[in-house]
Structure 1
Amino acid sequence: MDDNKTDTERTGATRSAFSSALGAALRSLPVGAWIALALLLGLLIGFFAARRFPAPGPTPPQAEQANATYEEYRAGELENRVKLVDSALLRSLRASKPEADRLQVQSVEGREHQGREYLFQTIRLPLAPADKPAFSRHLAKELAILVPGAQFTQPTSTQWDIAIDGLPTHRLLLPAEAAEMPARPERPEAGKGRLALVIDDMGEDVGLAQGLAALDAPVAFSIWPDSGSRESVLKIAKAHNREILIHLPMQPKGYPKVEPGRHALLVTMTAEQVQAAVRRAVERVPGAIGLNNHMGSQFTENPFGMHAALTAIKDKGLFFLDSRTTAESVGEREARRIGLRFYKRDVFLDNEQNVGAILHQLRKAEALARSRGQAIAIGHPHPETLQAIRQWLKEKDASVSVVPLTALPVR
C-alpha cells in the first residue's frame, strides 16, 4: 500500500509523525527546562532585534537640549595640567592639615612656552615643620595620579618646586621654624590692581541671579539668548546696574556629540548665516554691551567664521570678550584686524565646583591683578561660586578692586 503513495503524501506523513513525537517530547519536559528554553528564546530575539534596530542613545532632558550647561575648557593642555597641579595641592593640604583652609598665592607671573602664555605661581604653604613630611608624601601621590609628567623637587627645606615635563609652573614657600603660620600671612609689596568678574550661563536660575546681583561687587552677567528666564534675569541685572553681555553658543570640538545649545555659530555656516545669528542674539538680550563665547573651541579657531561674527558684533556697537576655551583662538587677531574692542579671559574660577578650589582661583586672579594691574576672571552660576565670591570679598587684598569689565583698558 505504501508503494502506491505519492511523494507528497509520504512527506506529509513523515512531518505529522515528527510533529507528534516532538509534541510528546516537549510535553514531557520538566518546568525548569521550559524556563531555560524561554530565557534562551528571549535572548536570541533581543540579540537579532538589536542588530536590526539599534537602540537610540539616551535623550537628555528638554532643558539641557535647550541650553547645554556643560562648559568645555580647551584653553591648552598646559593650562589644564597647571589647574590639576592646583587641585593636587589643595587636596594634599586638606588631607595633611584639615584645619588649614587656604593656599596663599604670593604672586602670579605670566610666562610663555611655545608661543603660549601660562601662569607661574608662587604659593606660600600654611605648614608647620612637623606637617611637611605628610604633605610631601600626599602631594607626590596626588601628582602621580592627576598630572603624569609632573616633577616635584625639594631644593631646600623652605622652597619646593613643581614642573610639568621640565617646565617650572609652581614654587612652594614653606616656613623655616615657626610651628604655626600667622592667621593672615603678610602679602608681598605690590601696586594696585583691578579685577573684573564675569558670570557666564546666566538666564536660567533666577535665585542665583539675585544672589550674584546682591554682591558688593559689580559682577557682569553674561546671558544666554535662549535661556528660559532671560527676561527675569535681565530685569535683575538692570535693576542692580550690572553690565550685561551675550553668552553666545559656538561650535565646540566634539560637535555634534558635544552640543552647545540652540542657535549656535557653526563652522559650516555662511558669513550671512553667522551674522544673522549674531544679530538675532543681540535682539534677544536688550541692553547688552558685549558678547562672549559659550564653548566655541572649534568655531573660535576658524578665521572665516570669527571674522564674520566679529564684524556683526562691531556693527552692533558691542565688544568681544574671548572666553579662551582654546589656546588656538583667532579672536584677538581678527578683532585687531577690524578695530573691534576686545578683552580676553585670564582665569576660570570654577572648573572644580568646590568652594576651596574656587577661592584658590579667585586668589590667583587677585595676585595676577596685583602684578599686571588688571585681570579678568570668568565663573558660572553655581551655589559654590556665589559662596566663594562672598567669602573672598571679605578677605581680599585692599589693593585690588573689583571693577566693571569696561573699566579695564582693552587688550
Structure 2
Amino acid sequence: MLHKNNTESLQTGPLWSGGRLSASVRMALAGGLWLAASLALALWVGRGAPDPFAENQPVTDAASAPVAGLPDQRPQAGSDAADPQARLDALDKMVEEVLPRTLPAARWRRELVPPLVAGGPDSGYGGSSGDGPDGTADLRGMTGSARRSASSGAPTGAPAGASGQATGFPAAARPEAPAVRVYTVTGPCAPLRLGLELLDKLARPDATVRAERQKLAAQEAAPGGPHGENAFNAKSGAALAHRGADWPDPDRPDPDRSGPDLADGAIRLAWTDAGSLDIFDNGRLTHRFLFPGREAQLADLATPLPRPALALVIDDMGQSLSAAEALAALPYPVTLAIWPHAPHARVTADVAAQRRLDVMAHVPMEPLARADGKRPQPGPGALRTDMEPGQIRATLKDNLSALPTAMGLNNHMGSAFTSSAASCRHLCVWLEGRGFFVLDSLTTPDSQLGVQTRALGMVSAVRDVFLDTRRQTPAILSALDQAAAKARARGYAVAIGHPYEETLRALRTWQDKAQVALVPLRRLVWHLAQEKAAGTAETPAR
C-alpha cells in the first residue's frame, strides 16, 4: 500500500509548486501549441495538392497537355476512364462478338503490339503497308520494342490521317498504355460491314429504335416465339435478347446491368487513309484492323463524302462477265449488284475486287402479277411471302453466303415481298446485327423494306432513280441528269441501272452537267452510318 506522502507528491511535487506551472512546462506547452497550429495551417493550405508519393498520379507536365491538332488524350468527363482495363476488356468482348457475325467467311489473327510512342499525323507509319525504300515499314522514330516488333513482321505504327483522329502521342502522355490489339483480316469479306456494326454498337440508339429492339428481343426470346421450330438459328433469340438489353430504358434503369458504358462518347471509330479501321478510347488507340490487299479500296473511307454525291448501282450482274469488264472500265466507280446464284457470280465479284468496286447481293424476291395476270419468275433463291420466318432466314443466308464480299443487299423484283411488312421484318430480324447495308430498290411505292430497316436502326437507303426503265440511250442520259439533279437538291442520290448495251453506251458518254461527285457506294453508306450514329440521319424521301 502506498504511503500518503508518496501519493500526494503527484499534486504538490516540484512541477506543481504553489499550484502554478513552472516556467519550463509553460514553454513546452506553448511550443506544442505552436507546432499543432502550424501543422493544421499547412494541412488546410495544401488540402488540394496531390501526394507526390502516391501511385497513378495524373501527369501534369507539358507532355500531358493536349497535342495541337490532335484530340485530348486525357480521360474525358463522363467516361468510365476510372477503370480503363474494364473498358478495354469490354471492347475486346465486343470485337470478338462482332467479327464472326459480320465477316463469317474471313480469317483473322490478333497480335498485341506496343502502342505508338512517336509520330503524329504525318508520321507515315502505315500498319502493314511499307514506307521504306524496299517496301518495309519505316522504323525511324520508334522505340526499341516497337522496332523489334515491326522488324519481326508485327504491324506497328498508326497510319496517317485517321479521319481527324490522333495517330500517335508522346510517351509521357500515356504511361503504362496497354498494348494495341492489331487484327489482320484475310479471306473473302466485306470490311465495311465490320465498321458499320461496330459503329452501331458504340452509338446509343434513339428511344424508338431501342423500344423496337427490346420488343423484338422479347418476341424472339419467348418460348414458342413467332419463329418456333422454323427459326433459322436456335441461338438467335438469346442473341437478340442480349442485343435488346444493350440499351435499357434510361427512365427504368436495370439494376442487373453492369460494366462500362461504351456509348459514352469517349470512343471513336475511324478509317484511315492507309486502309485500316482504328478504335480510340479517350484518345488512345486500342484496336486496329488491317485488311491486306484491300487498303486502296478502303482508304477513301477516311475522306468525308463530297456534296453533292451520286452513287450508281448496276443490277442483274453475274450473267455475263463481259458486262462486268465493261463497267469496270468506266472512268468512275459503279457498284455491281450480283445475283447470288448467277453462273458467273463469283467471277464477277472477283472482277469487282480487282477493280476496287463495291459488291451488293441482288436478292430475288417475289413480284406482283402483271396486268395480264402472269407473275414473273424472280429466279433461284427467291424470297416469298408464303415462307415461314425460318425459311426466309435460311434462304437469305444461302444467298448471302454465296457472295461473302457483298457489303449489303438490294431486291431483285420483289414488289409483292417488299409490300409485306411482316415478310420484310423477318428479313431484317436476321440481317440486324450483321453489319449489312440495305438498299430498297423501290419496285413498288408501297415498299416496307426501308421502313423496317429504319425501325431497327439499320443503315439503309432508297433508290432515287431507275436509269433504264426506257431502254433508249437518250432516255437513259436524261435519267442520269435527273439523278444528278436529285443529288444537288438533297446532297446525295442513288441511281439503279442494268447491264443493257444502251445503258453502257449512256454511261460512257454522259456529261456531268450538274457537277456532282460520282462516288463508290461504300462512301455514301459510311456517311449515312455516321449520320445515324450522330442522330442526324434523315428519313429518305420517296
The TM-score, its normalising length taken from structure 1, stands at 0.52
Which amino acid in the other structure matches residue 421 of structure 2? P
Which amino acid in the other structure matches residue 228 of structure 1? P
- Say if 1:252 and 1:296, in contact at 8 Å, map to a contact too: yes
Task: Measure, in 2, the Cα distance between the counterparts of 1:281 and 1:316.
Answer: 15
| Alpha-carbon shift at residue 252 of structure 1 (Å) | 0.4
- Say if 1:310 and 1:320, in contact at 8 Å, map to a contact too: no
Task: Measure, in 2, the Cα distance between the counterparts of 1:406 and 1:289.
Answer: 8
Task: Measure, in 2, the Cα distance between the counterparts of 1:348 and 1:277.
Answer: 27
Q: Which residue number corresponds to residue 164 of structure 1?
A: none
| Alpha-carbon shift at residue 331 of structure 1 (Å) | 1.4
Q: 1:406 aligns with which of 504, 522, 525?
A: 522
- Say if 1:313 and 1:320, in contact at 8 Å, map to a contact too: no
Look up the SS of the partner of 1:288 in the other structure.
coil
- Say if 2:367 and 2:375, in contact at 8 Å, map to a contact too: no
- Say if 2:488 and 2:514, in contact at 8 Å, map to a contact too: no
1:213 has 2:331 as partner: no
Q: Which has the larger radius of gyration?
A: 2
Task: Measure, in 1, the Cα distance between the counterparts of 2:514 and 2:486.
Answer: 14
| Alpha-carbon shift at residue 316 of structure 1 (Å) | 3.0
- Say if 1:319 and 1:340, in contact at 8 Å, map to a contact too: yes
- Say if 2:311 and 2:495, in contact at 8 Å, map to a contact too: yes
Look up the SS of the partner of 1:299 in the other structure.
coil
Task: Measure, in 2, the Cα distance between the counterparts of 1:401 and 1:369.
Answer: 9
| Alpha-carbon shift at residue 257 of structure 1 (Å) | 2.9
1:305 has 2:423 as partner: yes
The structure carrying a bigger strand percent of its residues is 1
Task: Measure, in 2, the Cα distance between the counterparts of 1:216 and 1:313.
Answer: 33
The worse-fitting range, judged by mean Cα deviation, of 396-405 and 302-311 is 396-405
Q: Which residue number corresponds to residue 326 of structure 1?
A: 444
Q: 1:341 aligns with which of 450, 453, 459?
A: 459
- List per-residue Cα deviations over 1:342-380 (Å, max 9, x = no partner): 111000000111111100000111111112211110000
| Alpha-carbon shift at residue 340 of structure 1 (Å) | 1.1
Q: Which residue number corresponds to residue 233 of structure 1?
A: 348
- Say if 1:192 and 1:399, in contact at 8 Å, map to a contact too: no
| Alpha-carbon shift at residue 304 of structure 1 (Å) | 1.1
- Say if 2:368 and 2:375, in contact at 8 Å, map to a contact too: no
Which amino acid in the other structure matches residue 357 of structure 2? R
Choose between structure 1 and 2 for higher RCO, CA contacts under 8 A separated by at least 6 residues: 1
Task: Measure, in 1, the Cα distance between the counterparts of 2:404 and 2:398.
Answer: 11
- For residues 258-269 of structure 1, what are the structure 2 equivalents within 5 Å? 258-269=376-387
| Alpha-carbon shift at residue 311 of structure 1 (Å) | 2.0
Which amino acid in the other structure matches residue 402 of structure 2? R
Task: Measure, in 2, the Cα distance between the counterparts of 1:193 and 1:274.
Answer: 37
Task: Measure, in 1, the Cα distance between the counterparts of 2:442 and 2:514.
Answer: 28
Task: Measure, in 1, the Cα distance between the counterparts of 2:496 and 2:514.
Answer: 21
- Say if 2:311 and 2:518, in contact at 8 Å, map to a contact too: yes
Look up the SS of the partner of 2:432 in the other structure.
helix
Look up the SS of the partner of 1:292 in the other structure.
strand
Task: Measure, in 2, the Cα distance between the counterparts of 1:247 and 1:274.
Answer: 15
- List per-residue Cα deviations over 1:7-63 (Å, max 9, x = no partner): xxxxxxxxxxxxxxxxxxxxxxxxxxxxxxxxxxxxxxxxxxxxxxxxxxxxxxxxx
- List per-residue Cα deviations over 1:115-159 (Å, max 9, x = no partner): xxxxxxxxxxxxxxxxxxxxxxxxxxxxxxxxxxxxxxxxxxxxx
Which amino acid in the other structure matches residue 218 of structure 1? P
- Say if 1:293 and 1:322, in contact at 8 Å, map to a contact too: yes
Which amino acid in the other structure matches residue 392 of structure 2? V
Task: Measure, in 2, the Cα distance between the counterparts of 1:233 and 1:365.
Answer: 26
Q: Which residue number corresponds to residue 199 of structure 1?
A: 314
- Say if 2:309 and 2:517, in contact at 8 Å, map to a contact too: yes
- For residues 22-171 of structure 1, what are the structure 2 equivalents within 5 Å? none
Which amino acid in the other structure matches residue 500 of structure 2? H
Task: Measure, in 1, the Cα distance between the counterparts of 2:418 and 2:353.
Answer: 29
Which amino acid in the other structure matches residue 309 of structure 2? R
Task: Measure, in 1, the Cα distance between the counterparts of 2:384 and 2:409.
Answer: 16
- Say if 2:317 and 2:324, in contact at 8 Å, map to a contact too: yes
Task: Measure, in 2, the Cα distance between the counterparts of 1:288 and 1:311.
Answer: 18
Which amino acid in the other structure matches residue 439 of structure 2? L
Q: Which residue number corresponds to residue 375 of structure 1?
A: 493
- Say if 1:306 and 1:331, in contact at 8 Å, map to a contact too: yes
Q: Which residue number corresponds to residue 472 of structure 2?
A: 354
Task: Measure, in 1, the Cα distance between the counterparts of 2:433 and 2:366.
Answer: 22
Task: Measure, in 2, the Cα distance between the counterparts of 1:291 and 1:192.
Answer: 24
Task: Measure, in 2, the Cα distance between the counterparts of 1:384 and 1:372.
Answer: 28
Coordinate RMSD, CA, aligned: 1.6
Look up the SS of the partner of 1:335 in the other structure.
helix
1:275 has 2:393 as partner: yes
Q: Which residue number corresponds to residue 112 of structure 1?
A: none
- For residues 389-400 of structure 1, what are the structure 2 equivalents within 5 Å? 389-392=507-510, 395-397=511-513, 399-400=515-516
Look up the SS of the partner of 1:300 in the other structure.
coil
| Alpha-carbon shift at residue 192 of structure 1 (Å) | 4.4
Relative to structure 1, is the Cα distance of residues 303 and 263 closer, same or farther in structure 2, using a 3 angstrom cutoff?
same
| Alpha-carbon shift at residue 313 of structure 1 (Å) | 2.1
**Share of identical aligned residues, percent?**
40
Gaps of 5+ in 1: 1-190
Q: Which residue number corresponds to residue 269 of structure 2?
A: none
Look up the SS of the partner of 2:409 in the other structure.
strand
- List per-residue Cα deviations over 1:222-271 (Å, max 9, x = no partner): 00011011122111111001110000000000187321111200000011
- Say if 1:306 and 1:334, in contact at 8 Å, map to a contact too: yes
| Alpha-carbon shift at residue 399 of structure 1 (Å) | 2.6
Task: Measure, in 2, the Cα distance between the counterparts of 1:278 and 1:316.
Answer: 13
- Say if 2:481 and 2:514, in contact at 8 Å, map to a contact too: no
Task: Measure, in 2, the Cα distance between the counterparts of 1:396 and 1:317.
Answer: 33
Which amino acid in the other structure matches residue 337 of structure 2? S
Gaps of 5+ in 2: 1-305, 529-539
- Say if 1:353 and 1:384, in contact at 8 Å, map to a contact too: yes
Look up the SS of the partner of 1:248 in the other structure.
strand
Look up the SS of the partner of 2:382 in the other structure.
coil
Task: Measure, in 1, the Cα distance between the counterparts of 2:517 and 2:328.
Answer: 17
